[in-house]
Amino acid sequence: MATLANIAVGSQVWVADPDDAWVDGEVFEVSGNEVKVICTSGKTVNAKVSNIFPKDAEASPCGVDDMTKLAYLHEPGVLQNLRSRYDMNEIYTYTGSILIAVNPFRKLPHLYNTHMMEQYKGATFGELSPHVFAVADAAYRLMINEGVSQSILVSGESGAGKTESTKMLMRYLAYMGGRAAAEGRTIEQKVLESNPVLEAFGNAKTVRNNNSSRFGKFVEIQFNQRGKISGAAIRTYLLERSRVCQVSDPERNYHCFYMLCAAPPEDIERYKLANPRTFHYLNQTNCYELDGVDESKEYLQTRRAMEVVGISTEEQDAIFRVVAAILHLGNIEFSEGKETDSSTPKNKKSWFHLQTAADLLMCDENALEKSLCERVIVTRDENITKTLDPEAAVLSRDALAKVIYSRLFDWLVNKINSSIGQDPHSKSLIGVLDIYGFESFKTNSFEQFCINLTNEKLQQHFNQHVFKMEQEEYTKEEINWSYIEFIDNQDVLDLIEKKPGGIIALLDEACVLPRSTHETFAQKLYQTYKNHKRISKPKLSRSDFTIHHYAGDVTYQTELFLDKNKDYVIAEHQSLLSVSKCSFVAGLFPTLAEDSAKSSKFSSIGSRFKQQLQALLETLSTTEPHYIRCVKPNNLLKPAVFENHNVLQQLRCGGVMEAIRISCAGYPTRRTFDEFIDRFGILAPGVLDGSCDEITASKRLLEKIGLEGYQVGKTKVFLRAGQLAELDSRRVEVLGRSARIIQRKARSYLARRSFILLRKATLQLQASCRGYLARELYENMRRDAASLMIQRNFHKYVARKAYKGLLSASVTIQAGIRGMAARKELLFRRQTKAAIVIQSHCRQYLARLHYSRIKKAAITTQCAWRARMARKELKNLKMAARETGALQAAKNKLEKQVEELTWRLQLEKRMRVDMEDAKSLENAKLQSALHEMQQECKETKALLVKEKESARRAAEEAANLRVVPVIDTPLMDKLTAENEKLKALVSSLEKKIDETEQKFEEASRLSEERLKKALEAESKMHQLNNSMQSLKEKLSDMETENQVLRQQSLLNSPIKPMSEHLAITTTPMKHDLENGQFKSVEAKEPQTAPPAIKDYAISSKLTIPNAERQHESVDALFNCVVKNIGFSNGKPVAALTIYKCFLHWKSFESEKTSVFDRLIQTIGTAIENDESYDHLAYCLSNTTALLFLLQKSLRAAGSAPRRKTPPPTSLFGRMTQGFRSSPSSVNLSVDGLDLVVRQVEAKYPALLFKQQLTAYVEKIYGIIRDNMKKDLTHLLTLCIQAPRTAKSSMLRGSSRSGSFGHSGQTSHWQSIIESLNNLLKTLQQNYVPAALIQKVFTQVFSFINMQLFNSLLLRRECCSFSNGEYVKAGLADLELWCAQAKPEYAGTAWEELKHIRQAVGFLVIFQKYRISYDDIVNDLCPVLSVQQLYRICTQYWDDKYNTQSVSSSVLSSMRILMTEDSNTAVSNSFLLDDNSSIPFSVDDISSSLQEKDFVDVKPAEELLQNPAFHFLQD
């Protein structure tokens, strides 16, 4: 609480509120011991100083993950911190080592996936965000490291999430201690699957929870010395048996009843079930279904879980028979019998259910009726049979149902324990306790009494643990703590369980007495404890009593205490079910010996539960406890609703407030020295002179302040309650004085600046006025001068304009007249020309129209016919494709098409040649005719010239003669006719010449078109040849794969060496020397050595020296290639040498060989012996090159080889061959590539060797990539968080610390750069293909992105402004490295860092509160998901400029979207996953290399000196 000295006007405080429990506000007025507070809600509250608490004005709006870090550890501070984190979907919060879990009432699968478990695996407690996995991991690590058993206590009220938290704990422990299943189910699987089984039979819907555990559970998980789960045991406590028969609205009975009613039809018919509404034990409430729960699916899942935990199918059927029998028992109604106080089943329906229950329990129907309606009283002399009235019969029926269900539940627990098994040699265990929380209802019965007793015991254990932790903290810091006290609740425990005289003892006594009732029991309590401070009697009740628990007062109703405390089975029920024909039912009720039955004393549930509780606490006392307090934020069971009063009550009931009270009794405020100096250094600036260390400076600071009662430890300053508020008040005063000084200086500065600006403005105004007057005078003078000039120019302009107008008019008239005449002439000529053009175009159009119609009709007909044929062909192809030989048919058809096209092409070319010959002859004839016509024309023209000349001379001579009027009319007519004939002949010759030229042009055009068609047909023929060849290759590959698969399917062990697959049979074989070994005539034993050695003994034709030389050649090859023989012209020598030797020895074509096995073993041994980057890169380069050569060379056996084109016989064929041999198509043999790569027909060993070599390429690549990731993991953990700088750094004094810190910041990033450079240099020196180098660095950068981004999301201290700048500088170094490495090697590696780049870019942006959600999603961080953005925004804190994160509206938008995502689909994890796949294929390797690169590669010099390897020089 606050003190008057710490309260001043303007102080931020918390004040009690009846609606919200606590509200914050500002002190407006202080009057004596009372203050007036203006709340943030707007209302004004008057309160006493002792009833208000100080508020930390500098607290983060996002809260803290550990509430021990709060400046003020009190109720409102804790409540506000939990609410702030809950609003951000942070459901976990630490209070020291205690984890508080607030139920979100929504599924959050991203918080509990395997990737999240990997993040918390081995992490220091408190290093990552609070999580249930962190508690489990801490317990597991303590057990492994210290060998001490651990326990995790999960508590909370119904609906707080205890069951789910327990599931997550068990999942994580199974993940850490799990192992691969050798035979059957593993222990961890059985432990996990026991949860749904126990939930089905022990959980039910209550008012507060849809899946409330109605029993307590303690799971002991045993571990061996290696930390693996070796055994487990489950203990249950206090099953609520009364729920079987009595259910209040709107609760439900146990889940198993509803699951069975929703079972498959055959099960329902077998058990004679119906709708749950028809059964009395289920229809006492109106709730039959749960939202989002499918009972039929739950039934099947429960049966699968029962199978996993070891319950057989027969036992499952028996279990559900018993459950169905209980339902039928509940439907038996009774009416009065014939005798007095007797009863009998009421009607036929009751008799039906009685018979069904008897059939299901496999007992006698009449015996069942008697056991329900009669009682046998045993006396000394005789047995007396007493009939029961209907009410007593109903009670007997319910008692039978309850005891059957209780025995069934106990059997399930025992069966699960026996199936899982316990490890007698285990010395360490982890226990998980899922126990009910403190309960206080309107009606509290015996169950609530036992539950609250449990919580009292556990609270005492909790208080002792918290006090022990406080003592350990003070002892570690070496401070005085002897005067610290804490309140114990032992008096309440003595009140309840003390013997004799305790409440349980009095209850057992009342149960033994025959005439005792709940009223006599209550009166006994009142008399015994009338002066006890922990128990009291309510005023208006005669049988109730109130106990003052640590969590509050609870009033208990004793009406059913005696009945619920009795733990016995009615003798008639025992005798009935013990003789059941069903062995399972009989096993639930074993027959008791008469002596033990007679000597057995009264047993009560309360006493037995007290013993179980005592055993539990003894077990917990031997373990190191860990606490998880589950909190239900609201009673509506809805997400995003936080009720302060409800949560506060649960914190009190859960002991969290008691732990805080214990902490406040000592030194609740603890600050490290640097934090203390950073916050309160302004109270004594003199201590920050750098002359002393932090501890001395803190002591001087406290002494100068004059504070008393504090303690200075080894690493922290410990302050008593209220001292931090006092320091804060002094700090506020210092800051207030500083603010007033700053205000005074600022106001003086503003006034002086205003005066200077005013004087400056006055001078400027005067100068402006004087300048204005001078400019006005000057303007008038300029205006006069301008007027004179304007008049003069105007007069001149008017005169000139008049003259120009007259001149222009004259010229315009002349031009118009001349233009009109010219236009008339032009119009006439244009009309004449247009008429001619129209006539020519019209004739041309008519001719073209006729031609185009004919052509279009022909094309349409051809297209229709071809389309019909194509559809028919397509249909045939589709039908053929469904058959097995589709590819073969396609190949044959393509061959026919090629032959047909070849024939057509030859025919077309032959026709073209013939047509060209005919055209040439016709052209020659036309040319000769043209030449003759031209000669005739010339002669005619010459004759006409002569005649004109003679006529002219005759006219001249006639002019000199006398005119004689003689008219020779016939002669004139004759001459005129001849002249016309000559003119007609000339015109006809001209027409023939034009027609000939047109025909010649048309013939040339047709020839060009046919030549073009011929070339197109030739290209199409080449394409068809290529497609046919590719189909052949695909067909051969498929045949080879089928052959390989058939052979592999016949083998029993596919991972055996190749030589075992290819064991030599007894079939006689021809003797031949190839493949680097001999083929034997007969083999009588499996091939375990190289065949060259075996064949040596039985060879009849070859000599011993030849076999030895062959064996020596193989040995020499492998002895050479195991060494690093380097590279030649950038290609590995070893790969090419091995390839040439195998090619020369014809190993690829061999049916049986062992050289491939030997090479594979050599590669594997080389990788295992040396995993350095240089050696792995050398192996990767060689295996990649060899795989490339095999890919280019090997052809599957049985595939058709490429057929050579037959030599052409026709002229056209020879022309085509000439075209093919043109320089445009280069033959491979010209480049000499056939000398390196030669296609061979590979057999099964070669194809298997190729697959194994591919696997080794992928394995070596993965080793290099994973080793690089391991090297970078430690450096990345150091790079994610910048070294902290604070005011206390001034105490360290020198400037060199700054330079050292800077170098330390960059050294980690430089180490990463150096690692990348070394790897790149190594890969380049070993000539690894650039494509593989790109893939390596792409995946490495993806790993860097994943590590940095996940660490940023999981650690709040990393989401700061300065840390963003630090990481951004490191990313800039990586970007520079990518630029220097060039895209040839870096590829798209920089793009893999997009998540961390955008996240860091967001951290270093100023004024985040002004950024909208759309700006963030579309511009700043388009790659990040809503969950990731929300986590970054809520965890962000500015340690440099103290700015705020994004606005509350942006956070609200993100929460809405996250809620929608969680409602519509399963939310994805906000963490990134690592990609460990192989990102390339054999085709990628083939495309990255070229065959011509291997032409100039020289073989190994060592082998060239060996005569057996002279073939390498060829």
Extract the annotated binding site. Answer: 156-163
Instruction: Say whether 698 is catalytic.
Output: no
In Å, how far are 310, 564, 757, 1063 from 413, measured between CA atoms?
12, 22, 90, 56
Q: Which of 11, 81, 155, 163 is catalytic?
A: 163
Catalytic hit among 81, 194, 206, 213? 213
Q: Between the CA of residue 1071 and those of 1068, 1086, 1100, what are the distances in Å?
A: 9, 18, 9
| Cα atoms in the Cβ-side hemisphere of radius 13 Å centred on 1485 | 24
Question: Strand 150-155 relative to strand 624-631: parallel, antiparallel, unpaired?
Answer: parallel
What angle do the packed helices 75-87 and 656-665 form, to 10 degrees?
130
Asked if residues 1141 and 1076 have their Cβ atoms less than 8 Å apart, the reply is yes
Please list the helix, strand and coil fractions of the chain in percent, rounded to the nearest 5, in that order.
60, 10, 30
213 is catalytic: yes
Sequence-ordered list of residues with C-beta below 8 angstroms from that of 1227, at least 6 positions apart, any chain: none
Q: Which of 159, 310, 666, 722 is catalytic?
A: 159
SS3 112: coil
Contacts of 420 (CB under 8 A, 6+ apart): 187, 190, 191, 194, 231, 232, 233, 234, 309, 310
Residue 1112 neighbours by CB under 8 Å, 6+ apart: 1508
Question: What are the start-end ranges of the H helices in 1225-1329?
Answer: 1228-1231, 1244-1279, 1296-1325
Task: Enter the tokens of residue 596.
Answer: 């033990």
The one catalytic residue in 11, 103, 129, 158 is: 158
Phi, psi of 763 (to 5 degrees): -60, -40
Residue 1382 and residue 1311 in contact, taking contact as beta carbons nearer than 8 Å: no
Q: DSSP secondary-structure letter at 1391? A: G
- Closest by CA to 1187, choosing from 1137, 1130, 1251, 1099, is 1251
What's phi and psi for 1064, nearest 5 deg?
A: -75, 130
CB atoms within 10 A of CB 1034: 13
Q: How far apart are CA 69 and CA 63, in angstroms?
A: 10
User: Binding site membership for ATP: which residues?
Assistant: 156-163
Catalytic, out of 129, 186, 209, 1150: 209
Is 587 designated active site?
no
Annotated active-site residue in 164, 199, 369, 439: 439
186, 212, 253, 396: the active-site residue: 212
- Which of the 8 DSSP states describes residue 362? T
For the beta carbon of residue 803, count every other beta carbon within 10 angstroms: 9
**CB 1135: neighbour CB atoms within 10 A?**
23
* Long-range own/partner contacts, residues 94-97 (CB < 8 A, 24 or more apart): 94/65, 94/66, 94/67, 94/68, 94/126, 94/130, 95/66, 95/67, 95/68, 95/656, 95/659, 95/660, 96/66, 96/68, 96/466, 96/469, 96/659, 96/663, 97/125, 97/138, 97/469, 97/626, 97/627
Long-range contacts of 7-13 (CB under 8 A, 24+ apart): 7/35, 7/49, 7/52, 7/54, 7/729, 8/729, 8/732, 10/732, 11/54, 11/729, 11/732, 12/54, 12/55, 12/56, 12/57, 13/37, 13/52, 13/53, 13/54, 13/55
| Residue 308 burial (CB count, 10 A) | 19
159 included as an active-site residue? yes
- DSSP assignment letter at 639: T
What is the C-alpha separation between 1513 and 315, in angstroms, rounded? 79
Active site residue 212: yes
Helix (H) / strand (E) containing 1078? strand 1077-1078
DSSP 669-686: EEEEHHHHHHHHGGG-GG
Q: Quick check: is 439 catalytic? A: yes
CB 1384 within 8 A of CB 1324: no
Handedness of CA 778, 780, 784, 790 (dihedral sign): positive
Integer-rounded Cα Rg, in Å, for the chain is 52
Q: Known catalytic residues?
A: 158-159, 163, 209, 212-213, 437, 439
